[in-house]
Amino acid sequence: MSEFEIDADHKTPREVNQILKQSAKKNNKIVIKNPNAMHYIAAGLTEPVELTIDGSAGYFAGTMIHGARIHINGNAGWFPADNMTEGEVLIEGSAGDGVGQGIYGGTVVVKKDVGSRTGEIMKNGTIIVGGNSGFMSGLFMMGGRIIVLGNISDDAGESIIRGVIYVLGDIKSLGKNAKVEDIDQEDKKELEELLTTYGFTLDRDEYHNFKKIVPRSKRPFYGKESEEG
Q: Read off φ and ψ for residue 225, nearest 5 degrees.
A: -60, -25
DSSP one-letter string for 118-130: TTTT--SSEEEES
Query: What are the tens digits of pLDDT across the range 200-212?
Result: 999 989 999 999 9
Whether the predicted pLDDT of 35 surpasses 60: yes
Read off the pTM.
0.94
Q: Which residues of 119-147 are buried (b: 16+ CB within 10 A; e: fewer)?
A: bbbbbebbbbbbbbbbbbbbbbbbbbbbb
Q: What domains lie within the chain, and their CATH numbers?
A: 94-220 (2.160.20.60)
Query: What are the tens digits of pLDDT across the range 81-118?
Result: 999 999 999 999 999 999 999 999 999 999 999 999 99
- Using pLDDT thresholds of 50, 70 and 90, give the confidence band for residue 224: low
